[in-house]
Structure 1
Amino acid sequence: MLVKEAPVIWNLLKGIVCVYKPAEITCENLRKALLAKICADLNNMECRSISERVVIEGNPLEKLTVNVVPNLADHPAVVGPRYLPDELPASWSNYLGWNTCGILLFGLREGTRTAKYLRENRPMRAYKLKGTLGKATDNGLASGKVVEKSTWKHVTKSHMEKLLSSIQSSHQKQMFQLCGVDLQSQTAYDLAVQGPIRPANSKVPLLYGIKCIEFTPPNFVIEVHCINENESYLTTFIHEIGTKLHSTAHCTALQCVRHSCFTLEDALLKKHFTLQNVLTNMEKCSIKLEENKDLLYQKSASLTSINTE
């Protein structure tokens, strides 16, 4: 059944919405665009009626009449739209930088608690990082000023894969060192089988998996699975790859392709921001969270056990 009453729809807006954040737009501006579209669609629906007030008219010495009339002080033309973006609580569970595009999760109303849980649980994220060999820029990005040029034709895909494998191994070793556990011990094995190991310090970026998925010199694309990362760290990582390959490199694109159990297929594009699409997306996200609830709780338990160690 098609619901046309805005108050009914308003009560359904509680949960997680998965959207796609374009590059060169802030998370805050995308949040404002989403809330503005939701409220605009709500205001175009059947909102609550104008409240009424009692009016007593007539001569007190003769006869008085009591009438119930619409309260003009409650008219939308006086008080403004019924639904305003500022009245719809929304928070993101993961933050993407200015140059990063990809999956961004918003919690609406009661969904802000779920967004906070996902944020504090520090789920693993996957990125596709595009880089170019031969040039280094002052900010590590294609938009920066070129500060150094170098040769790159000596770099092969086997060199790239060997380097990435070495970096992944060093990060895996670092995971256990941060937990104060011997890599060859039974405790290390018991922690590893529980799930991805997370350090107690949320400021320490860790890479769980690194793979070169495309290599067409001087351009390359790598896929990184990580936690505690940020845009600056990922662009610096591309620069370090170029340095360790005895060349230079800068990042040309960053895309978050996975956040926890959410992938690009779940993300809602900005051009599709409509109330109906948001409700549909919210329902799909709710089902996906329910299906992966055990996995999410398992990750949280893994973190607790490591901190205990």
Structure 2
Amino acid sequence: MSFNKLHGLFAAHKPAGITCSQLIGTLKTSLLKDLNASQKLYLPTFVEVKQFGKEAPNDGKETSNENQLWKVEEKKDLRFHPLVAGPYFNRLNVQVVSGGLDKKSSGVLVLSIGRASQYIPAYQNALLPRQYHVNMQLGYATSDYDAEGKVIVKSTYRHISREKFDRVVTGLTKTSRRYNSNYSGLDMQSQEAYDIAVSGKLESVTLFNQPTILTAKCLHFNPPYVSLEMECLNEDNDFIRDTINSLGIKLKSSAVTSRINRTKDGPFTMEHSILRKHWTLANIAQCIKDSKEMVKPFIKRKDMFLDELADEQVKGQPDVQIQ
């Protein structure tokens, strides 16, 4: 793969403690460093013509150049040397495709590079679910619903059993779907709702642009420490923390979120996201190549597909080969 074909979507693992902007900055620095290191030094040449020997004295009379010798040399133009003009590659277009991860959270972060940013709206409008593993702690509540916030409430949790916890967690999905159905203004008992359901478009009507919990289940229960697996749409980390706080209230106790880790974003899973130590040009180029078939059903456009975008050549850019 060459630099001219370095366009596509891929997933990176975002560690906790950094923002998405900081991740993109680190990623760009690593890619630009590899690009400039792989670029073979090419300098344009120019022809220099100069007189061989001393110039004849000018006495006001016309002299003939027939007997004069000229030296013609082809030299490299050092004005374009990286030590003079700077590195050839100095910018890259890397954008977040599917956000929702703040500084405290971690997990799969889908990014676009190059001209593949034009597929961001199509990917976002595909209503792809995202899966999270959420660690929570029972017994107290904070001002921002996060474990590191200021404690405002303390409560008991000894009365919470696994059966009761599972029952309340199951109710989260029903409550979320009922709220979104009411918000959409669609009467679920009407003929219109029936026709939309038959056509298979009910989910896109009732869940569009509203945070929704599709599934939720308990992975580990050892009070006060509990872990959940949640599959959501249109959510962000504030919505998840607010949900955990509401869950604690429904359990007649209180709860805070201690960790949020995204394990899946549409077709991308933890296996597809590359770690910080693997943010190199060769690895990212391979990830883009491997992800083409995964994202193709979700980013189709009438005028261009991802394969055609990758096969296009960018005028004015060197064809740097990526090993």
Same fold judged by TM-score > 0.5?
Answer: yes
What are the superposed Cα offsets for residues 15-37 of structure 1, whole Å, 9 maximum, x if unpaired? 11111101111111111111211
What are the superposed Cα offsets for residues 93-136 of structure 1, whole Å, 9 maximum, x if unpaired? 11111111111111111221223321343422111111000011
Q: State the one-letter code of the partner of 1:91.
A: Q
Q: 1:204 offset after TM fit, Å?
A: 2.7
Runs of at least 5 residues in structure 1 that lack an aligned partner in the other structure? 1-7, 298-309
Q: State the one-letter code of the partner of 2:211.
A: P
Mapping of 1:211-250 within 5 angstroms?
211-250=217-256
Task: Work out whether 1:51 is the aligned partner of 2:48.
Answer: no
User: Which of 155, 158, 172 does residue 153 from structure 1 map onto?
Assistant: 158
- Which is further off, 96-105 or 121-130? 121-130
For the 8 Å contact 1:57–1:64, the answer to whether it is kept is yes
User: Which of 3, 17, 22 does residue 10 from structure 1 map onto?
Assistant: 3
User: Which of 255, 259, 264 does residue 265 from structure 2 map onto?
Assistant: 259
2:59 is aligned to none
User: Which of 32, 36, 56 does residue 39 from structure 1 map onto?
Assistant: 32
The alignment partner of 2:120 has SS state of helix
Q: 1:190 offset after TM fit, Å?
A: 4.6
- Return the alpha-carbon distance in structure 2 between the equivalents of residues 142 and 44 of structure 1: 44
1:116 is aligned to 121
The alignment partner of 2:156 has SS state of coil
Cα root mean square deviation, aligned: 2.3
The alignment partner of 1:19 has SS state of strand
Task: Work out whether 1:75 is the aligned partner of 2:81.
Answer: yes
2:147 is aligned to 142
Q: 1:191 offset after TM fit, Å?
A: 3.6
**Amino-acid identity (%):** 26
What are the superposed Cα offsets for residues 176-235 of structure 1, whole Å, 9 maximum, x if unpaired? 323333323454345446267135896531212222222111111112211221111111
Number of aligned positions between the proteins: 285
Q: 1:44 offset after TM fit, Å?
A: 1.4
Higher helix residue share: 1
Larger radius of gyration: 2
Q: Which runs of 4+ in 1 moved over 6 A?
A: none
The alignment partner of 1:110 has SS state of helix
Q: State the one-letter code of the partner of 2:102.
A: G
Higher relative contact order (CA 8 A, sep 6+): 2
- Return the alpha-carbon distance in structure 2 between the equivalents of residues 119 and 38 of structure 1: 26
- Return the alpha-carbon distance in structure 1 between the equivalents of residues 183 and 41 of structure 2: 57
Structure 1-normalised TM-score?
0.84
For the 8 Å contact 1:101–1:255, the answer to whether it is kept is yes
User: Which of 167, 176, 179 does residue 174 from structure 1 map onto?
Assistant: 179
The alignment partner of 1:210 has SS state of strand
Q: 1:196 to 1:39 in 2, by over 3 A?
A: farther
Q: State the one-letter code of the partner of 1:143.
A: E
- Return the alpha-carbon distance in structure 1 between the equivalents of residues 13 and 170 of structure 2: 30
